[in-house]
Structure 1
């Protein structure tokens, strides 16, 4: 399980990660949400909602299958107090850095919202159903999918068992680039440090559920403004 990887295995696993990376980056699960609006019929909205969960389900199923086959840790581990403590502690550190980067971004570029967040905000202007589906995906489904791909599959299958800092840095960098399509160094650094600390938590705990918990907590707190919008409409 933890034996040294051959070059051919690393190449194969890198291709598998790249395939999952493209699927996540493509955001295919969000396409059905564009079909939901107040003027669509009930049946059309229901079918779009089912398609939304179905695509998410397929992506998560694929990532779990890859993680079980190529990962070094069991996905069935329970969340220990130590895991939870690490998730909370490094979430706090991440938030402090995020606030510092946000202030610098506002001072230098006069920007406070990333292009990733702007795309979410535009979709939220549709209706309550879109809001609810987006929130569930953002808080529950995306953390599961992204942590399995960016932490589990990447760090466990593409790097040697003894590697420590390189997989953490690469994981954070790819996570940052995936969430910041527009080149703004502060937005990239914000998502990089999030991904970096989630990767560090995974490396320290060996439990994918620890960094999934941290990711869910981050997205939950970040979604408070979206929840307020939902109740104001």
Structure 2
């Protein structure tokens, strides 16, 4: 029996593919469309809350979580459809997603990096939390308090929201569209800082949470710039949120 052969022609940190094949303006406008729809969608979809509570009478948490899934997926898909429609050549939604996803090789390397980078990123965010707490009150994310007081079913929904949906959607929009567009316009450094700031600014808990979330956004943008793979960022974001929620559960 012959031993398995390994292809060593392509090292782990080999040159990466081009950063993005999508034009800049559609990426910026696509991100803007996502933000507008995400902000306004609750007004449009709020009548669904009583319906969802009637169909799944667990609690308001259940209805709100399901409404969140509808809103973020709807907003993200519309944004990506816009990006596809505005390309100079016919482009499908799948092609836009694959371009945003970036390097799809070395899945195990990207998965491992996403998990392994949690510790240094956590240390940086913890330092930012400490610094911010000297100036502002640190208010926990509303979902953390809701998670702590929820039953097991609703805790599962909140975990799905925070650990699966939020990382995938936010990384697609903030790193896949916003960061890459700003990088092509202003350069890597400015894009990392600005996209990280926007990422922090749209989250609750400001001003206390601004510096920690900005630090997290900067770290995620730096990782995406380094690996050009959204998989690493998604896994890192998932790991960060999962550990945060698990820690809240055992408090």
Instruction: Please give the TM-score of this superposition, normalised by the length of structure 2.
Output: 0.68
TM superposition shift of 1:87: 2.8
Alignment length, in residue pairs?
Answer: 218
Larger helix proportion, structure 1 or 2? 1
1:165 counterpart = 2:179: no
CA distance in 2 between counterparts of 1:159 and 1:71 reads 19
| Equivalent in 116, 136, 139 of residue 113 of structure 1 | 139
1:93 aligned residue: 120
Alignment of 1:182-201 (within 5 A): 182-184=206-208, 187-201=209-223
| Equivalent in 51, 58, 77 of residue 61 of structure 1 | 77
Residue 130 to residue 155, structure 1, CA distance change in 2 (3 Å) = same
Unaligned runs of 5+ in 2: 1-17, 84-92
Moved more, 63-72 or 89-98: 63-72
Task: State the Cα RMSD in Å.
Answer: 3.9
Q: In the alignment, is the contact (CA less than 8 A) between 1:75 and 1:207 conserved in 2? A: yes
Moved more, 40-49 or 89-98: 40-49
Q: In the alignment, is the contact (CA less than 8 A) between 1:33 and 1:52 conserved in 2? A: no
TM superposition shift of 1:172: 0.8
CA distance in 2 between counterparts of 1:150 and 1:216 reads 15
Residue 62 to residue 3, structure 1, CA distance change in 2 (3 Å) = closer
Instruction: Please give the TM-score of this superposition, normalised by the length of structure 1.
Output: 0.72
Q: In the alignment, is the contact (CA less than 8 A) between 1:84 and 1:210 conserved in 2? A: yes
1:123 aligned residue: 146
2:14 aligned residue: none
CA distance in 2 between counterparts of 1:222 and 1:201 reads 20
1:80 aligned residue: 107
1:14 aligned residue: 28
